[in-house]
Chains A and B, each alone.
Chain A
Amino acid sequence: AQSVTQLGSHVSVSEGALVLLRCNYSSSVPPYLFWYVQYPNQGLQLLLKYTTGATLVKGINGFEAEFKKSETSFHLTKPSAHMSDAAEYFCAVTNGGSQGNLIFGKGTKLSVKP
C-alpha cells in the first residue's frame, strides 16, 4: 500500500532563509509525486509534480523538489523564503493505473518570520 509521511507538522523560517519541507513515500511501483500548497480557507493548488524523466522538478513560485528513489524522498525546497510563502503544504503520491487516486500526507504548515 502507498503512504506518505511529511516530517514536521510545523516549520518556521526567517524571510530570505532556505525552505526545506520533507516528504517520504512508500510505493511498490514507480510513483507519481506531487506537492500542493493551500492558503487559509482555500483549495489546494499544484506546486509541482514528478512523473518520469528528470528527477529535479521545478514548480511555481520558485519551488523545486528532487525525486530520490534510493531514499524514497521528494523534499520540497526554495532558496529564499518570502512572506507570501506562508501556507500549508501537502505531499501526495499515486502509482497511476486506471484509477490514480492520490494519497496525501498530513501537511506541513510553513510560517515565515520577518
Chain B
Amino acid sequence: DGGITQSPKYLFRKEGQNVTLSCEQNLNHDAMYWYRQDPGQGLRLIYYSQIVNDFQKGDIAEGYSVSREKKESFPLTVTSAQKNPTAFYLCASSQPGQLSYEQYFGPGTRLTVT
C-alpha cells in the first residue's frame, strides 16, 4: 500500500528536550512538507523540501529543524527553542508540476510538551 507513515501517533516530552518526529513516504514523491495544526488556526507550513538534500523554511520555521537525506524520509526536530511546541503535526508529500499539486497526508503526530 502506498502512503505516508508518521510515528509515533502520540509523543510526550518534558520542556527543554529536543524531539524528532518521523515521516516516511513510499509514493516516490519529490516534495515533502511539515505542517503544524492548532485548533482554529488551520495548517501552518513549517518546512518543505522539493528535492533530496534541499529544504526551505515555511511560515513558522523558528524552533524547528529538518533534514532530507533520502527521498522517502523527511524527519522534523522540534527543538527546545520552540516556545509552544504542543500541537498536532502533519507530514505531506506531493509531485508538483504534473497539473495536480495535491498533497497526500500522513496520519499525524500529536506532541505534548509539559
Contact = CB atoms under 8 A, between A and B. Distances in A.
A and B interact: yes
Given A99-B96, A101-B48, A42 B108 contact: yes
A81 to B, nearest CB: 22
Interface string B92-109: 101011011111111110
Nearest to B99: A51
Given A44-B90, A90-B42, A98 B101 contact: no
A72 B110 CA distance: 34
Given A43-B90, A44-B90, A107 B42 contact: yes
A90 B6 CA distance: 21
Contacts of A100: 31, 94, 96-97, 101
A42 B104 CA distance: 13
Interface in A54-100: 90, 94, 96-100
A99 B96 CA distance: 6
Nearest to B98: A100
How many of chain A's residues touch chain B, expressed as a range?
20 to 34
A106 B41 contact: yes
What secondary structure prevails in chain A residues at the interface with B? loop
Contacts of A36: 105
Contacts of B4: 43
A102 B33 CA distance: 10
B2 interface: no
Given A9-B40, A99-B50, A101-B45, A41 B108 contact: yes
Closest 8 CB pairs of A and B: A100-B96, A43-B105, A106-B42, A100-B101, A44-B105, A104-B43, A43-B107, A104-B42
Interface of B: 4, 6, 31, 33, 40-43, 45, 48, 50, 88, 90, 92, 94, 96-97, 99-108, 110
Interface of A: 9, 32, 34, 36, 41-46, 49, 51-52, 90, 94, 96-102, 104-107
Given A41-B88, A42-B107, 11 more contacts: A41-B110, A42-B108, A43-B90, A51-B100, A94-B101, A98-B96, A99-B48, A100-B31, A100-B97, A107-B40, A107-B42
